[in-house]
Amino acid sequence: MPELKDPPKTGGATQSPPPRTDSLPAVIPPPPAPALKRAAWTRRLPLLLLLLAAAGGAGYWYLHPRTALPPGFAVGNGRLDADEIDIDTKYPGRIAELKVDEGDLVKTGQVLAVMDTRDVQAQLKANQALMQQAQHSLDQAKADYANQEAVVKLAEQEIARTRYLVPKGFASVQQLDQQQQSLTSARAKLNSNDAAIHVAERALQAATHQVEYYAVQIADSQLMAPRDGPIEYRVANVGEVLPAGGKVFTMLDANYVYMDVYLPTVEAGRVALGSEARIVLDAYPDRPLPARVTYISSQAQFTPKTVETKDERDKLMFRVRARIEPAVLAGAASVVRNGLPGVTYVRTDPAARWPANLDSNPAPDAKAK
């Protein structure tokens, strides 16, 4: 470091030397900008989360308005469900054809799948031939019976004439005995023909039952829809060999659509079977669907089985099922779909009047308002 020289003197006045920089304390540098930004975001994060939650809640309530219910009503959240129906095979066999697929809407009696029945059809033809043969045997036995019946009648007439002639000497007793023997033999043969008719009838019945059995088996090899509804799952494919009871499809019963909700003890205790309800789907908030309470659970859900205090009893939740009216389902196929979330309103007081936004059949004055 260069040596500092004394400053020059001017006018007899002494000038003070400049301060030494080497003895000054070191200056602390400012923190880096990213650290300052992270600290600021950390302080603001709770406020931002609170604002987002408030905005989300406001948006939800804007899109899903909920009107305060008057006394006499209960409300619960749930999802639409429909009864599942398994389309199974009655007899073992190979799948020959599938006529529908997942998502298709089917009608009652519609053929969904066809099983291979070539072996059954061959057995059906064989038993049809046996049935025809049994019918021919029965016809022959009846003809033999009729012929033998005529023989018996003739023998009876001959005996009657001989008995009339024997006292007068125009016929012998020996001749009468011979005719009597012939009549006995003819009657025995008639009884045999009668038994042959019964045997032929039983054979015809057995062959007929076999034909009916194979005809039913062929008919049951066409898997039909028992109810109206959509196909939910396809489990098997063409060419697969299934045992008896093998599942091919799973469909939903469009005539039994319901929503299960959970109500607290006080509200559930006021609900009765058959109580009116309204189901409002989130996707269609302006279309309340009339429903009826068809099930009330006798046991609480999600709570201990034994409770000792009233506060604990008030926390019990009971499952209540509201089923949409079948007449409503017929005209709401585009609205009602399995799994849609929504809200169920149940009228716990029969005298309570439905609010205007939930009344599916509002009065004229309500419509005017």
Q: Which tens digit of pLDDT belongs to each residue from 9-21? A: 444 444 545 555 4
Burial class of residue 16 (count of CB atoms within 10 Å of its CB; 0-12, 13-18, 19+) = exposed
pLDDT number for residue 41: 55
Q: Cα–Cα distances in Å, from 272 out to 45, 133, 177? A: 49, 65, 91
How many Å apart are CA 263 and CA 296, to the nearest integer?
10
Q: Which two tokens stand for residue 223?
A: 């898997």
- Say if CB 275 and CB 347 are below 8 A apart: yes
pLDDT number for residue 174: 87
Of 276, 274, 273, 268, whose CA–CA distance to 351 is shortest?
Answer: 276
Stretches in the chain below the pLDDT threshold 50: 1-14, 16, 21, 23-26, 36, 58, 60-65, 308-309, 362-369
pLDDT number for residue 55: 58
Burial class of residue 11 (count of CB atoms within 10 Å of its CB; 0-12, 13-18, 19+) = exposed
pLDDT number for residue 298: 85
- Say if CB 236 and CB 96 are below 8 A apart: no
pLDDT number for residue 169: 80
pLDDT number for residue 30: 55
289-292: Cβ within 8 A, 24+ apart: 289/324, 289/325, 289/328, 289/332, 289/335, 289/336, 289/360, 290/324, 290/325, 290/328, 290/360, 291/258, 291/259, 291/322, 291/323, 291/324, 291/325, 291/344, 292/322, 292/323, 292/325
| Helix/strand number for the chain, H first, E second | 7, 12
How many angstroms separate the first and last alpha carbons of the chain? 97
pLDDT number for residue 18: 52
- Say if CB 283 and CB 132 are below 8 A apart: no
What are the helix (H) ranges across the chain?
Answer: 33-63, 118-165, 173-220, 265-270, 310-314, 326-330, 364-368
Q: Which tens digit of pLDDT belongs to each residue from 82-138? A: 889 999 999 999 999 999 999 898 999 999 999 999 999 999 999 999 999 999 999
pLDDT number for residue 87: 95
